[in-house]
Chains A and B, each alone.
Chain A
């Protein structure tokens, strides 16, 4: 087992072997899968969530 520097500040210790999701020929670590999923969630949230300042914009249009 190779020595690993102790992470003093970490609340969650991620210094253990990664869990991997396999689907056909695709292998993705859970961490990477979470990042990719979050990107899609954030993208669609950005598209769908209402944006503040509508009154300001109405004044600008009139």
Chain B
């Protein structure tokens, strides 16, 4: 509801609000139902990835509270470092299983290309985020990884402005910049899923078609029928 009777046409706030609500009305943003075809354990790996990310950020925040050297000389600090490390392993584990599931579902179908893209880019940004963590450990592992990784990065010229042997820079990237990027990507990924819905099953009757015009004669779906209902010469993604 607008605070004023007639908000101005030029109000950026009103325009943003109306666009946001149109794209994601509350019942779409936080739905209390899901399609009946969501009936497999493979569907838990997306939320498991988010859960692992939450654990990463929580344990990382505790490590950040006491500074980067803390975990080397207290057992409590070492404990949270361990939580952080195992959260990384769990994060990549479940994210890759999620990726495998989504690939074999061809989850980019039905206008969900950006869902796929944001997911793929999240993985590709998470890898350097992990690297910055590994070189920020301030132990032998960090010494070795940084002196090795520098050669790959220098070869492409990135080493000129992204110096893995510069602890201060790497710590900043690891604690702030790259997690922000990962969270922003995950948020846009999830919002796109909310907007487009979970991808419907592949239609078992579909065919490859060279001519999109043939799809115009397509059959309507009946209740409970596969969503990408197609005519006999339907399109294939």
Contact = CB atoms under 8 A, between A and B. Distances in A.
What size tier do the contact residues of chain A reach?
20 to 34
Contacts, number: 46
Given A53-B39, A60-B36, A43 B97 contact: yes
Q: Chain B: interface secondary structure?
A: helix
B41 A46 contact: yes
Q: Chain A: interface secondary structure?
A: helix
B224 A39 contact: no
B6 to A, nearest CB: 43
B99 to A, nearest CB: 10
Interface string A11-29: 0000000000000000000
Interface in A46-62: 46-47, 49, 51, 53-54, 57, 60-61
Interface of B: 33, 36, 39-42, 44-45, 72, 75, 78-79, 82, 89, 93, 96-97, 100-101, 140, 223-224
19 contacts: A5-B72, A7-B78, A8-B75, A9-B75, A9-B78, A9-B79, A35-B93, A39-B97, A42-B93, A42-B97, A47-B41, A49-B41, A51-B40, A51-B41, A53-B39, A54-B39, A61-B36, A61-B223, A61-B224
